[in-house]
Amino acid sequence: MRSGSAPSARPGRNAGVTRRAGALAAVCGLLAATAVAALAPAATAAGRTSTPPTGAKADAAQLAAADATLRRANVGGTAWYADPATGHLVVTADRTVSREAVARIEAAVRDSAPAALEIHRTAGRIAEHTAGGDPIIGPGARCAVGFNVQDAGGTKYALTAGHCTQLGGTWSPVGEVASSSFPGNDYGLLRYADPSQAEGGVRGPGGTLIDIVNARNPVVGEKACVSAPSGIHCGTVTGLNATVNYGDGVVSGLIQTNLCTEPGDSGAPLYAGSSALGIVSGGSGDCTSGGTTYFQPVLEPLSAFGVSVF
């Protein structure tokens, strides 16, 4: 599927070579907008905001009841544990949790362990880290992180497909477009708004991480895999230095493979063992009927942007 625009072909239909980003339905756009709005920073500094009175201690039953109540309250950006030594329920709320949400937490445990609630603020953001192969959502399209990279100063970026970054804007959960190259090439950088969320490696089976320690060019006949929002798909490198005309741009120097990909997989990482090889540019077919996928070699953008995988 074409990335960065409405799909020009449907899964299961071979309608020529297309890019692999998925267009989002209106409802997905609404959900994304809601998620962004929910991340408005709270005007509360890091540190302890609620301390139990001296000697206050909840028993095991009260702590268990408070834990269950907090689960039902469902306040994102929080973490908690019961401390049996002190009899306190210790809650950490990140910078995205508003004062009103903290009040909801306090109200939620009022009946179960009101005097033993300990609330701390953290300046960071509690969230799943983002690794290669994880989905990213931008202006009307879904793509994927290829590899997380950093420059000599330690600034962290997500490397992805250029036909995705050419749309500009902010890509959740990473950040804004820092640089883009398409057509001719097909790569771009997103700068992490929160560098602590950049996870080294690529997403493996069951959410595990596959460590990536270097980057290189592939060879014809080599076995390789892609980690994408549609899943992990493996196959063979069948050609190098391929040129593809997508209709709105010609890209040269691509890796040709018999791996399958699906709409929304643009930018996803191609790797072999612990080596970074490329990122999804486009292809034909799908993972039901099989197909061909073309990858932008990774060494070119690493050199062009002065970054390295980590």
179: annotated active-site residue: no
Q: Alpha-carbon distance 298 to 284, whole Å?
A: 21
Identified catalytic residue from 134, 186, 265, 286: 186
Residues 27-62 have pLDDT tens digits of 222 222 222 223 333 334 455 565 655 667 888 888
Q: Alpha-carbon distance 116 to 90, whole Å?
A: 9
CATH architecture of 47-121: 2-Layer Sandwich (3.30)
The mean-pLDDT minimum among 107-111, 197-201, 305-309 falls in 107-111
Tell me the domain boundaries of the chain: 18-32+129-309, 47-121
266: annotated active-site residue: yes
Q: Determine the 3-state secondary structure of 239 from DSSP.
A: strand
Beta strands in 147-221 (DSSP E): 147-151, 156-160, 170-171, 175-181, 187-191, 198-203, 209-210, 214-215
Residue carrying the six token digits 């269950």: 68
Residues 118-159 have pLDDT tens digits of 899 887 777 679 999 999 999 989 999 999 999 999 999 999
- pLDDT value for 107: 87
Average pLDDT over residues 186-201: 96
> Shortest CA distance to 143 belongs to which of 296, 269, 285?
269
Q: Which amino acid, 94?
A: D
| Cβ atoms of 117 and 66 closer than 8 Å | yes
- pLDDT value for 96: 87
Identified catalytic residue from 5, 94, 112, 163: 163
186: annotated active-site residue: yes
Say how far residue 41 (Cα) sits from the centre of its chain. 20
Residues 59-104 have pLDDT tens digits of 888 888 888 988 998 898 899 988 888 888 899 998 889 999 999 8
Identified catalytic residue from 98, 112, 180, 266: 266
The secondary element (H helix, E strand) that includes residue 79 is strand 78-83
* Fold of the domain spanning 18-32+129-309: Thrombin, subunit H (2.40.10)
Taking the model in full, what pTM does it have?
A: 0.69
